[in-house]
Amino acid sequence: MKNDRAWVVFSVCVGVVLVLCVAFSDMAAVQTGSWGLSFQAEGRTPVGTVGQTVLDAYDAAYVGDAGENVLYLTFDAGYENGFTEGILDVLKKHEVPAAFFLVGNYLETQPELVRRMVREGHTVGNHTWDHPDMSQLREKEAFSEELRKVEDKFREITGAELPRFYRPPQGVYSEENLEMAQALGYKTVFWSLAYADWDNSAQPTAEEAFSKLLGRVHPGAVVLLHSTSKTNAAILDELLTKWKDMGYTFAPISALFE
């Protein structure tokens, strides 16, 4: 009897320790870090560096409803590499909405493409003016300046207000960043599906791209692609067709927070 009682007490203690470890792990993770994913199984929602329940407190998200076959397509763009017009043509053909997270250089050098994005119903999001490590900007004024300059340039180009969606450069974040973005009215958008498409000197083959983007797609996926990628531009038409054949539909990034 004593042994049974001791075992129960031991089990309870272990359970409490595990719960506390998970709690403190989540708390530590949200302090500062770089966004990452762990894929447990193909077709299933990956585990993010920070859980969605924690992100909810900061109006942040990395994935949609796991019960709906809906995808949220996003592109990050630090500069124009000659592929965006073709990407926009494919999106128009498939009637797929996308979000383009842009930096200051893109807004300054590609106003016509920015206007086309807006005209064709896409969302332009804030990827900061200079693409710095935002976790190092601990002063509210410095942080807000990075976002405000993008807002001002977007307004100058389009005559409209910039939609309040923010993506941290390189996925580097801190708790202070998330709080400051929230205070400025922004929703922070991470991602649940991406692959190594950003290095123009080492572009993946179409086969490698399809292997990752089809094998790891999952309901509610927030897809991160780079519009500078030659491979993405080449496969996008077929990729969207394949995703549709798999039963997926597409929604604007605003729907992620509804």
Residue 90 exposed, middle or buried by CB count within 10 Å (0-12, 13-18, 19+) = buried
Residue 161 and residue 196 in contact, taking contact as beta carbons nearer than 8 Å: no
Catalytic residue check, 133: no
Secondary structure of residue 9 in the 3-state scheme: helix
**Which one from 76, 122, 127, 218 is the annotated catalytic residue?**
76
Catalytic residue check, 76: yes
Helices (H), 41-167: 52-55, 84-94, 104-109, 111-119, 140-158
Residue 198 and residue 207 in contact, taking contact as beta carbons nearer than 8 Å: no
Residue 88 and residue 114 in contact, taking contact as beta carbons nearer than 8 Å: no
d(CA 256, CA 203): 30
Encoding tokens for residue 213? 């983007």
Alpha-carbon torsion (249, 203, 101, 157), positive or negative = negative
Catalytic machinery residues: 76, 226
